[in-house]
Amino acid sequence: MDNESIELFLESIGEGRYKDLFKKNEIELELLMQLSESHLTQTLTKLGLKLGTQMKILEKIEAVKKKGM
């Protein structure tokens, strides 16, 4: 996960269609991994992501953190 890009991360959860949105807003994977759950949820909501997509992202990040990035 260390060198994984936001594009690969989003594609891994079936949400690759949002890669341009994240790039446009200068949100890299490293930043997402550092945010608290509250800040992450706020950020994803501000980006206009639907609840299902937000849940996928939150679950993937939690799983990665448990593995120890």
Instruction: Record the pTM.
Output: 0.86
pLDDT tens digit at each of 69 positions of the chain: 545 799 999 999 999 999 999 999 999 999 999 999 999 999 999 999 999 999 999 999 999 888 875
Please say whether the beta carbons of 2 and 68 come within 8 A.
no
> Taking the alpha carbons of 44, 33, 11, 8 in that order, is the dihedral positive or negative?
positive
Q: Are 63 and 57 in contact (CB under 8 A)?
A: no
Residue whose structure tokens are 């260390």: 2
